[in-house]
Structure 1
Amino acid sequence: MKQRHEVLFKQLESYRSYVLSVMENVTEEEAEIIPFGFKNNIRWNLGHMYLDQYLWIQAVTKEKCGVPEQFKSWFGFGTTPANFNSETPSLEELKNLLKEQPAKIKDVYGERLEEEFPPTEMGMHTIEQVLIRTIFHEGMHLQAILDLKKCIQPSF
């Protein structure tokens, strides 16, 4: 694997570890709270981060990534926790999925990062480009989680 690909996966793992460290003292109950002025909660943001990487990989490769179809109705663009039901993954389940995801992506796509595909509407045509985009996107949702935590845990 090329050195820049190793760096990309190291960043993906490092940023994901940071997201998970931010979640260490968040309870299931706190992850459900939607403070005034917010559309979503912490649990939704985590599920959306997980789903987003796979959706963009699918958008580029046109291959199924193994994420259950229901994730789109719970965590897809434009959804809210109002879409949750008894089958929606818990905070702990989402944290486990997020923890495992970087290694799974590396295992499945690590040797295909520069493979060319027809471009998406955003112009991305490699998995490498998708991962760069999703790392940025994850940072946006990390900030949302940090903002939510400030409302939920005032001493944070």
Structure 2
Amino acid sequence: MSELLYKHFETTRSYFLKNVEALEESIVDVQPEGFNNTLHWQVGHVLTVTEQFMFGFPKKSAHLPENYLELFGNGTKPADWQEDVPSVQVLVEQLKDQLKRFKEIPAESFQTKLKAPILGQETFGELANFSIFHEAMHLGQIQSMKRLIQGMQAK
């Protein structure tokens, strides 16, 4: 089971990084009509939420600045940003580091029962699987938003 989680996380993260690294800098902060966020936010959100799910950010993980919750946490949006925001390139490096740290999680940890269910997930492994699902869902958003923005700019 744990080998499958490592493989799925690595596959999803690899596709995510490939898509993000291919984004033109000129479009990452464009907010299309009907969207509450930007490509830049999507990248930071995946990083931040994965850190919360897998590493207990911010209480148990010091790998990301605490203000990432205010920038990229659930319910946040770029329109509310009032401080320096890390570039997409910085976020990409942090995503790569996070992948390395994920692969270092001991396999037996995935069997650990959570103190209380999180989003219906009862074990750490189920939460890891949900994290992969969450990332893949946002990858789809990034792909759609990229096409939409490029189509708007082509007009």
1:77 aligns with 2:74: yes
1:26-59 CA-to-partner distances (Å, cap 9, x unmatched) read 1222110001111100110011111111222356
Of the candidates 119, 122, 136, which is equivalent to residue 119 of structure 2? 122
Answer whether contact 2:39 2:142 (CA < 8 A) is retained.
Answer: yes
Q: Aligned equivalents of 1:111 and 1:96: distance in 2?
A: 27
2:148 maps to amino acid: C
Structure-to-structure mapping, 1:34-53, within 5 angstroms:
34-53=31-50
Q: What fraction of aligned residue pairs are identical, expressed as a percent?
A: 31
Q: Which residue in 2 is equivalent to 1:146?
A: 143
Query: TM-score when scaled to structure 2?
Result: 0.85
More strand by share: 2
Q: Aligned equivalents of 2:82 and 2:74: distance in 1?
A: 17
SS at match of 2:114: coil
Alignment: residue pair count: 151
In structure 1, the gaps of 5 or more residues are none
Cα root mean square deviation, aligned = 2.3
Query: TM-score when scaled to structure 1?
Result: 0.85
Answer whether contact 1:28 1:90 (CA < 8 A) is retained.
Answer: no
Answer whether contact 1:32 1:43 (CA < 8 A) is retained.
Answer: yes
Of the candidates 63, 85, 101, which is equivalent to residue 104 of structure 1? 101
